[in-house]
Amino acid sequence: MSEQEYKHIVRISGADIDGQENLLQGMTKISGVGLRMSKTIINKLNLDPHSRLGYLSEEMITEIEAVLKDPMGSNLPEWYVNRQRDRISGRMLHLIGSDLDFARRSDIERLRRIKSWRGIRHSLGLKVRGQHTRTTGRAGMAVGVSRKKL
């Protein structure tokens, strides 16, 4: 592998990733792709997980992006996707990058709009998933603690 085909920064699905990262860990830098999805894509495309991202060809990058865009079309199980039965389309989707952020924000906004318990907790900035709040999750500075001046 010559120096000419090495890229210091690789852009995959809208994320800039350092070319020094190995393939397995580097793909997890994409929002919406975890270690399991990264391993599955690497095995699906018969890539070396220990090779560096900087040595990937443009064809391999487009193949990775195609699998990320439509994992169901690449014969991955339907439980691999991170958006099962989408509310709007009713399909199994795998969202990555800014699409994932937008979907998360719109879900929280929908909970606030219908005034569900979780939506109220989100709007008040409190814990949402049933955690205790008596001693944890406190925000702001400590009250009533003063130090002696020397």
User: Can you give the pLDDT at residue 49?
Assistant: 87
What letter represents residue 87's amino acid? R
Domain spans in the chain, listed from the N-terminal domain onward: 3-80, 97-130
The HSE-up count of residue 41 (CA atoms within 13 Å, CB side) is 27
Q: How buried is 133 (Cβ within 10 angstroms: 0-12 exposed, 13-18 middle, 19+ buried)?
A: exposed
User: Can you give the pLDDT at residue 122?
Assistant: 93
Indicate yes or no: pTM above 0.85: no
Q: Are 54 and 19 in contact (CB under 8 A)?
A: yes
Distance CA 93, CA 148 (A): 58
Task: Using the predicted structure, report yes or no on whether residue 54 has a pLDDT greater than 70.
Answer: yes
Q: Which CATH class is domain 3-80?
A: mainly alpha
If pLDDT is split at 50, 70 and 90, which confidence band does 73 have?
confident
CA distances from 143 to 19, 45, 98, 135, 137 (A): 48, 57, 39, 14, 15
User: Can you give the pLDDT at residue 19?
Assistant: 86
Pairwise pLDDT comparison (117 vs 96), residue with the higher score: 117
Q: Tell me which of 1-5, 60-64, 71-75, 140-144 is least confident.
A: 1-5
User: Can you give the pLDDT at residue 4?
Assistant: 59
Task: Using the predicted structure, report yes or no on whether residue 35 has a pLDDT greater than 70.
Answer: yes
